[in-house]
Amino acid sequence: MARKVLSFLPQRPFSSIPEIPNLYSFLQPSLFSLKTTNQQQQPQNQNQKLPTSPPNSFNHDQISTLETILHKSIITNNTDEAWKSFKSITTLHSFPPKPLTNSLITHLSSHSDLHNLKRAFTSAVYIMEKNPMMLELETVASLLESMRCVNTAAPAFALVKCMFKNRFFVPFDTWGGVLAEISRKNGNLVAFLRVFEENCRICLDEKVESMKPGVDACNAALEGCCCELQSVSDAERVVEIMSNLGVRPNELSFGFLGYLYAMKGFEDKIDELKNLMVGFGYSNKKSFYSYLISGYVKSGNLASVESTILSSLNDGDGKDWNFSEETFCGVVKEYLHRGNIKGLANLIIEAQKLEPLDIEVGQSIGYGIVNACVSIGLSDKAHSILDEMNALVGSVGLGVYVPILKAYCKENRTAEATMLVAEISGSGLRLDVETYDSLIEASMSSQDFQSAFSMFRDMREARVPDLKGSYLTIMTGLMENHRPELMAAFLDEVVEDPRIEVGTHDWNSIIHAFCKAGRLEDARRTFRRMTFLQFEPNDQTYLSMINGYVLAGKYFSVLMLWNEVKRKLSEEEQKGVKFDQNLVDAFLYALVKGGFFDAVMHVVEKSNEKKIFVDKWRYKQAFMETHKKLRVAKLRKRNFRKMEALIAFKNWAGLNT
């Protein structure tokens, strides 16, 4: 199928690459060196040239000893000794056994440092030159993987070319992907292209099926032709190779060709590609259209950029292909480079006419363009596009607003965000809950409380069902910023909204904040408002009030609280009051300090009923600090009941002993 469909491209032969070039200085080994076909013949007595055949006699025992040392050195990780033994063996015109040779190269590769990687490379090349069948495929793969890890392109290419030269045909899958990745990292896919072509020549001429590349490798070669070389002839030669090898192109293959043809302005060839994609059954043309757009951007053909984007919507029956941010950034940069904000606004308006009404915000063309402006740091330009759209009397989709709002959040421009939210609401559009939450969180973080309140009101008016997240954000932010008066006003405003679950704990937060700030009248007012709205105070409510009164020295107010709590405790249902040790301690300490010993003994009685432990020492100290000079005889003359209460307390606390 692939051979038949791709036969429209002209047939061009391709030549093989030269044999191994001189190694870069980094790779030039001290022991071995590669030879090239155009290298001058070296003198026969050159010291570095190793003999290709053994001498008439050599010491078998010596070689055996060196092999033993080599083996032990690898096991003990003595790399330098292992390398020294290997060099000594080769000096005697011999090789270690095949397993030992491969173990050495693998060991040297495993270190992934340049020094030992150089040793591994030179060993592999030497073995390949002398007896390539001694090398295991796993060893070659391990060496190449180490080169990939340290991103050394030159030795990786040299190793593969050496394999070709010595007819050591390693399966393409062993090295092709590694070489393509290294080339892409170094921005030099052209180098991969040349090796790819030589590999494919061998595959076809020698009929070595294992050297057949997959479509990913073919696409890497195409990428080098289309994006780096920008050569139509080279690209079509790769397509020819794919056809000869029976490699089926995928969407990315057509994408690279589309980029090249768009950049060159070859509209007829682009139409051919579209027909071919239909022939191959590819319906998802996102990649193809993305590369077409990038190609037109590269050539500065904005008219074709616009027509391609709109065509993509028509081609997908109104479905947007959700192009990448990189694609949209390229489009935006080219338009803005030419000062054509109006063109971007018009493109969004025309796209909105083709997009379905229920399209997701993040998948619209408007969102992609405006978000690209924001991502490259030009949020003001994004707003200029919005203004231009309004000037063109075009309906502005939500996708245009959302990226601008996100930018305002990031830049803490919350007042402007609030104005934009009002504009959105006025146009009949509705933001989602996540956007509202983000805006309110940004407003609270920048202490712009009024903007947060305004946006929360907008949420309520827009009938957003989930208000809990933003409600908690506002309440927590106000508490952290010690603004209980705003908490009280906000809670009073939203308390009757059924979508917000207001509880006693919310009122407690406000009361606690007022008491901590010494604003007891506000705390009392909040307490009264809480009970008026039928929210039952609990033990935390009373603890906050008691602590506030104690700090202000208002012990009589604590007595009034105790009377209220005592009444609730006497009822069958205690209505949320948990009479625990914390509450007992708070009441006892405050009432002792205030001298209300009758109430103190009532608290003691209640604590005994509830079997709550009371630390008498703490209240003995409180009495001594405040009432050390108080005498029973004086109280007997003034108030007999108080005298009895005082005696009872002193007996209980152990003050009469």
Predicted confidence (pLDDT) per residue in 444-460, tens digit: 999 999 999 999 999 99
More confident residue, 572 or 517: 517
Q: Across residues 599-618, what is the average pLDDT?
A: 84
Confidence check: pLDDT of 265 > 50? yes
Q: Across residues 156-182, what is the average pLDDT?
A: 94
Confidence check: pLDDT of 46 > 70? no
Q: Across residues 258-283, what is the average pLDDT?
A: 94
Confidence check: pLDDT of 278 > 50? yes
Lowest mean pLDDT among 17-26, 55-64, 519-528: 17-26
3-state DSSP percent of the chain in helix, strand and coil, to 5: 70, 0, 30
The CA-CA-CA angle for residues 380, 381, 386, to 5°, reads: 95
Give the distance from CA 132 to its chain's centroid.
46
More confident residue, 94 or 325: 325
Confidence check: pLDDT of 18 > 70? no
pLDDT at 634: 54
Query: Mind giving me the DSSP string for 238-252?
Result: HHHHHHHHTPPP-HH
Lowest mean pLDDT among 49-58, 199-208, 561-570, 632-641: 49-58
The model scores a pTM over 0.75: no
pLDDT at 340: 94
pLDDT at 394: 67
Confidence check: pLDDT of 608 > 60? yes
Assigned token pair, 613: 């432990």
pLDDT at 108: 93
Q: Which residues contact 606 (CB under 8 A, 6 or more apart)?
A: 566, 569, 579, 584
Q: Across residues 306-326, what is the average pLDDT?
A: 82
Lowest mean pLDDT among 397-406, 497-506, 566-575: 566-575
Confidence check: pLDDT of 572 > 70? no
Helices (H), ranges, 228-323: 232-245, 251-264, 267-280, 286-299, 302-315
Where residue 2 falls among pLDDT bands split at 50, 70, 90? very low
Q: If phi over 0 gives left and psi between -120 and 50 gives alpha, with beta otherwise, what is residue 246?
A: left
Confidence check: pLDDT of 523 > 50? yes
Confidence check: pLDDT of 303 > 90? yes
Distance separating alpha carbons of residues 19 and 356, to the nearest angstrom: 58
Where residue 576 falls among pLDDT bands split at 50, 70, 90? low
Confidence check: pLDDT of 640 > 70? no
Q: Across residues 296-302, what is the average pLDDT?
A: 96
Q: Across residues 142-163, what is the average pLDDT?
A: 93
Confidence check: pLDDT of 380 > 70? yes
Place of tokens 């056809």: 243
pLDDT at 628: 64
pLDDT at 14: 31
For the chain, percent of residues with pLDDT exceeding 90? 54
Assigned token pair, 311: 């065509």
Helices (H), ranges, 339-467: 341-354, 365-375, 379-391, 398-410, 414-426, 433-445, 449-461
Average pLDDT, the chain: 84
Distance separating alpha carbons of residues 517 and 548, to the nearest angstrom: 9
Where residue 32 falls among pLDDT bands split at 50, 70, 90? very low
pLDDT at 507: 94
Amino acid identity of residue 355, one-letter, is E
Distance separating alpha carbons of residues 618 and 87, to the nearest angstrom: 86
More confident residue, 23 or 178: 178
Q: Across residues 388-396, what is the average pLDDT?
A: 82
Confidence check: pLDDT of 4 > 90? no
pLDDT at 600: 86
pLDDT at 248: 95
Q: Which helix (DSSP H) or strand (DSSP E) does residue 647 occupy?
A: helix 640-653
Q: Across residues 136-148, what is the average pLDDT?
A: 94
pLDDT at 36: 36
Q: Across residues 381-403, what is the average pLDDT?
A: 86
- Residue in 541, 76, 5 with CA at minimum distance from that of residue 280: 5
Lowest mean pLDDT among 15-29, 405-419, 546-560, 561-575: 15-29
pLDDT at 653: 72
Q: pLDDT by residue (tens digit) across 410-440? A: 888 889 999 999 888 888 888 889 989 999 9
